[in-house]
Copies of this chain bind each other. A is one copy, B any other.
């Protein structure tokens, strides 16, 4: 996504609200589930959910290949099966906390989820097709169709063959033990562990090997870090580290502010990164002035899967507190205290802040 507008501290527009109503966030209390229940995993759907007839749908692998492949869902299911647990986050998560706020899907912090995907690995399919040049890029095309930034398009993203292979990408036809739901890309989606959500093309119908760098809208306009509208910018790729906390205590309906009873309070949540493992989570109970280490569960099934963390907090008095958490990964990335603005509002992994009122 690209954005040519931004709105300072003004209220959210009805257009942004329309996007928020259809692109679902994960309520933060759902961090308690290692695998996000179906329907609570975040959703970002650029256009409409397309209608796909599974009986006529086919995946085409074509372009610079020796043997173009075309296969239906039944054929894909006879191929090697791989199960993959993946924490997936939208590159725009945190956008609505930036000032001025870039105008697009107005995510606060809920654009994340973890699923068990089942599918067939991409690499053997590429080997079977036989790539005809090196290097080539792979262009993944979805069936979702619309207009964006003045360009009529199907959603398309590319990956280098190296990234596609080294990441362990899978073509997934099941999620949490069931066929993909329409909104998650039925009948097939690309799943690239560790990469931001836009990489994981839904309603996948074609993989094309090309010799030139792909110049489609979502590659060269959308999903790039830019400080000025007209610069080339850096492409988004792997998820930056983030820790999120289950908001403790009870919520107030309208403000979602938390009310916690005086006494010991277990803080807990999950942390992830697409850049190596999460190696530490720190918690602050005074708005970021002082930090303490949380306990990290043993590593998950893979470095890109979120890790559970806990921290015992005992407020010494009633009153207002601001709880924060931040993660660091094995590549040395750490969450910043302050958000780093960019035109598209991407990759804002500034620390989460939860205002809490402790009552006696």
Which residues in A have some Cβ–Cβ distance to B below 8 Å?
Answer: 1, 7, 10-22, 24-25, 27-30, 32-33, 37-41, 43, 45-49, 51, 96, 103-104, 106-108, 110, 145-149, 152, 181-184, 247, 250-256, 259
Tell me the complex Cα distance, A252–B255, Å: 32
Chain B residues positioned under 8 Å from A51 (CB to CB): 32
| The one of B11, B146, B148, B253 that contacts A13, using a Cβ cutoff of 8 Å | B11
| Least CB separation from A47: chain B residue | B251
Tell me the complex Cα distance, A313–B313, Å: 63
| The one of B17, B29, B45, B250 that contacts A106, using a Cβ cutoff of 8 Å | B17
**Interface pair A40/B250, CB less than 8 Å apart:** no
| Copies in the assembly, this chain | 2
| Least CB separation from A50: chain B residue | B29
**Interface pair A252/B104, CB less than 8 Å apart:** no
User: What are 11 A-B pairs with beta-carbon distances under 8 A?
Assistant: A1-B253, A10-B11, A12-B12, A12-B13, A16-B17, A18-B256, A21-B110, A24-B24, A103-B254, A145-B250, A146-B252
Q: A39-B181, A47-B250, A49-B27 are in contact. Are A15 and B255 (CB under 8 A)?
A: yes
| Least CB separation from A109: chain B residue | B21
| Least CB separation from A107: chain B residue | B21
Chain B residues positioned under 8 Å from A152 (CB to CB): 250
Cβ-closest 3 pairs across A and B: A11-B11, A39-B39, A21-B25
Chain B residues positioned under 8 Å from A1 (CB to CB): 253
Chain B residues positioned under 8 Å from A7 (CB to CB): 11
**Interface pair B252/A21, CB less than 8 Å apart:** no
Chain B residues positioned under 8 Å from A37 (CB to CB): 181-183
Question: Nearest Cβ distance between residue A225 and chain B, in whole angstroms?
Answer: 19
Question: Nearest Cβ distance between residue A101 and chain B, in whole angstroms?
Answer: 10
Tell me the complex Cα distance, A32–B52, Å: 12
Question: Nearest Cβ distance between residue A122 and chain B, in whole angstroms?
Answer: 26
Chain B residues positioned under 8 Å from A22 (CB to CB): 25, 27-28, 110
**Interface pair A108/B18, CB less than 8 Å apart:** yes
Tell me the complex Cα distance, A7–B47, Å: 30
